[in-house]
Amino acid sequence: MTSDFTRLFALLCAGTALSLPLAAHAQSIAYGDVSSSPGKGAGERGSDSSAGAEDEGDVRPARGASGKKIKVTPYIEAQQVVFAELKPGDEVLTYSVLAAGVDAAIAGRNNQASVSLRYERRIGWGDATDSDAISGVARASLSVVPQTLKIEAGALAARTSVENNGAAVTSGLEFGDSVTQIYSIYAGPQLATNVGDVALSGSYRLGYTRVESPDAIQLAPGQAPIDVFDDSVTHNAAVRAGVKPGAVLPAGLGVGAGYNREDVSNLDQQIEDRWVRGDVTVPVTPDLHLVGGVGYEKVQVSSRDAIRDPVTGNPVLGNDGRFVTDKSVPRTIAYNADGLIWDAGVMWRPSRRTALEAHVGKRYGSTSYYGSFAYAPNARTSFNISVYDSINGFGGQLNNALAALPTEFEAVRNPFNGSLSGCVAASGSVASGQSPCLSTALGSVRSSVFRSRGVMASYTVTGSRFQTGFGAGYDRRKFIAAPGTVLAAANGVIDENFWVAAYLNGRIDRNSSFSTSVYGNLYESGDAFSGDITAIGATAAYYRQLTSKLTATAAIGIDGVKRENLVDIWSGQAMVGVRYSF
């Protein structure tokens, strides 16, 4: 049965959306009910370099003065699923599923929220085992004082499988000991106001992430155990004051400071990042600005060692398979960067629907690149690219990705087990600095802190009859660990993750619709014993509306995991079911 934490998460996830008493904009294409019908997290690098930049540069569709709407759809569901192992064996399992969930969307000029929450109970037949799971995603932006103070919040519950190199992949074997549950939640205020010509902004975000992993992970011969991330608490805070170009001087000026911290329970790992900087914006044309900044930053990563067996000297593992922290030993410094930071770049914003930022500079003791491009030709279409560079643990990376989700979306789910795909379906265009995909953050659940550099792109279209989306990305993680500790072997190891995810949902006629999705991951590990992992899969489902409340479903799917040093896994599934929506 679900843990106390799982129940608490479900309440928080539902409350995130249902507590906002405002408008809605929702589509549920997959179940035949089709209506016609903001910014980066605190402390993220891209938000503090645009000195004097005007807020209207965000790419987002204009809102009319239409009436407010709200839509909340609770449902119950029953399914019969056949699971066939294609490789390495040929076992066929059958199980029944009883599920309950809610999909809700709230949208207004000052308040937006989306939530998708699902609980399911699997009842195995024959050799199939019983299990249960919860999955969901929620994002909300609540205005306390319109245009001045708002509360940002988000939550995620995801299901995946952990491989021998720490890679988190989606596979057909998502039950029993292969299941890993990932939970993440954050909330915090954002303030933006003006004192005369000076624009003042500030933000704070408190986040928590937890991974409930299986007790044992299949390892390649000779491979040391992989320490799977347990949980972490993150704090992100930033303040800034600035004047835009022409307000006081021809150039815009600004000054800001920030503090980021993540405390990882595994071996008491800790990241502390403090920075202060000044920045300048020089207009070249009304649409093109040159931007730059210089400042000081101190970043430190530290941890403790594991308890050692007094006889063998080997690290001691707890009942959960993770290393047991030795609280008696002093903290050891794994990484320390202290000194000058700078960057320079361009901002191009020819309209409210197009925005480009590109920056190059020095941070973390080496050259750093980051930027974004957003294009929304209309209110239903958006194209986004982002380039990032940061130091995080798994929890901090996932919190950042969750905070970057749009506030208006629909979850894209696997029709067999209800698990979330790597991207959500945005209900309209995606603002600059946002991304509808979480695949980059979910690539690996190693406990070690890392420097993450990469790029991701997304394209979404929300039509009256069809919804489609495509996401792709590359993530490079260089792990950081203290010498002399049990994690020392991970120091300097580089893991690379290439991923792609796509979906196409549509309405066939008045009473029927379909959904399709595909995904692919190539995870290249720097650990010689681990080898590379390739995961691919596809699903297709047909929905027939029997009454205004009752919908029948039929679906097929295939998943495969190709492993360099272990046996490959291939599986297929077929399902029929009915859903009743209240």
Nearest-5° Cα angle at 81, 87 to 515: 95
Give the separation between CA 349 and CA 52, rounded to whole angstroms.
13
Please tell me the total number of residues recorded for the chain in this structure: 582
Domain containing residue 17:
4-197+210-217+349-581
Query: Domain count of the chain?
Result: 1
Q: What is the pTM of this model?
A: 0.83
Which amino acid is it at 476? R
Using the Cα atoms of residue 157, residue 160, residue 163 and residue 167 in order, give the sign of their dihedral. negative
- 249 located within any domain: no
Two structure tokens written together for 8: 């608490």
- 146 located within any domain: yes
The closest of 394, 268, 266, 270 to 320, measured between CA atoms, is 266
- 224 located within any domain: no
pLDDT in tens, 275-333: 999 999 999 999 999 999 999 999 999 999 999 988 888 889 888 778 899 999 899 99
Supply the pLDDT for residue 566.
76
Give the separation between CA 579 and CA 478, rounded to whole angstroms.
45
pLDDT in tens, 390-433: 999 999 999 999 999 989 888 888 887 777 877 888 776 677 67
- 378 located within any domain: yes
- 239 located within any domain: no
Residue ranges in the chain whose pLDDT is less than 50 = 1-2, 5, 8-67, 172-173, 175-176, 216
- 482 located within any domain: yes
- 181 located within any domain: yes
- 292 located within any domain: no
